[in-house]
């Protein structure tokens, strides 16, 4: 998003040196106007889409987490000229994902809400609570929603973090927990296996893959990188690898990936090169 709040979808591979940019490698959407003064400084945190915006644009809806209160908005490509803002009590959203014709959003109280985009969308009627709050220890927690690609299961990852020395010190992840959605019982069930899959957590992108389909990828592991949490940090240093079954962090400091991350001041994102944007 630029200084005029124009939202742009960009194919990251179109910026590879020496590669010719494909048609529609940049898609410009209408401005996501701030709703108040606080929104103007902190705006889009997360974006996801219901379909490939190039090959299936007529069925593509882009949804975002935006603003100081981290609320929701969406727009249908080639159908809407403005964003639809969702106000019906939906705020403090930490993550957003699209699974089987519905968007799912998780807030800071572990409440999972779901909605489908319809031509006459009414948030009071369309948004439903799928899973409720449950008790947990007091800590700084970031929540992620991930669909296990091979099983159409919705997983919530809870990432516990702390800061060394003071609020401006080095942030690090202390613990990771996984929960699977039991939609029939409106509850989360704790799990300790991904069935051979691997999860990648990060800024604006959390994905899952079968580890057996990716060379060098470890099964039942979570790869995580530093992401935004509104706490000042000099450089993105909170990254690592976590084994779900053993519940232990694995050393990666001597890898090439770790070296590259430490050299950068930007928070990295995960990319799966299969979208035709």
Q: pLDDT tens across 158-186, in order?
A: 998 887 655 555 778 899 999 999 878 88
244, two tokens: 């779900």
First to last CA, the chain: 17
Gap between the Cα atoms of 50 and 147, Å rounded? 13
Q: Can you give the pLDDT at residue 83?
A: 92
Residues 233 and 7: their CA atoms lie apart, in Å, by: 26
Closest alpha carbon to 267 in 149, 126, 150, 171: 171
With beta carbons less than 8 A apart as the criterion, state whether 272 and 12 touch. Answer: no
Q: What pLDDT sits at residue 42?
A: 57
- Give the other-Cβ count within 10 Å of 276's Cβ: 12
Q: Which two tokens stand for residue 107?
A: 């807030």
User: What is the pTM assigned to this prediction?
Assistant: 0.84
Low-confidence ranges of the chain (pLDDT < 70): 1, 13-24, 34-42, 88-90, 133-136, 138, 149-151, 164-169, 203-204, 228-237, 253-268, 273-277
In this predicted structure, what is the pLDDT of residue 276? 46
CA 201 – CA 46 distance, rounded (Å): 13
């Amino acid at each position: 998003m630029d200084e005029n709040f124009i939202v742009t979808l960009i194919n990251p591979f179109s910026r590879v040196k020496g590669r010719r940019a494909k048609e529609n490698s940049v898609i410009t959407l209408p401005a996501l106007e701030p709703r108040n003064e606080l929104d103007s400084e902190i705006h889009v945190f997360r974006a996801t889409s219901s379909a490939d915006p190039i090959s299936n644009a007529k069925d593509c809806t882009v949804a975002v987490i935006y603003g100081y209160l981290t609320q929701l908005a969406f727009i249908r490509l080639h159908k809407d000229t403005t964003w639809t803002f969702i106000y019906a009590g939906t705020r403090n959203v930490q993550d957003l994902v699209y699974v089987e014709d519905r968007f799912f959003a998780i807030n800071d109280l572990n409440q999972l809400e779901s909605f489908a985009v319809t031509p006459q969308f009414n948030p009071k009627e369309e948004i439903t609570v799928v899973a409720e709050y449950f008790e947990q220890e007091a800590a700084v927690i970031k929540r992620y929603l991930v669909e296990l690609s091979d099983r159409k299961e919705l997983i919530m990852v809870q990432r516990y973090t702390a800061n060394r020395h003071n609020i401006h010190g080095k942030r690090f992840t202390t613990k990771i927990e996984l929960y699977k959605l039991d939609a029939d019982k409106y509850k989360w069930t704790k799990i300790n296996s991904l069935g051979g899959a691997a999860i990648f957590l990060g800024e604006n992108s959390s994905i899952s893959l079968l580890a057996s389909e990716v060379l060098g990828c470890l099964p039942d592991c979570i790869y995580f990188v530093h992401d935004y949490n509104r706490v000042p940090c000099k450089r993105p240093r909170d990254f690592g690898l976590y084994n779900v079954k053993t519940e232990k962090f694995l050393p990666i400091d001597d890898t090439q990936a770790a070296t590259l991350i430490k050299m950068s001041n930007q928070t990295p994102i995960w990319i799966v090169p299969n979208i035709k944007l």
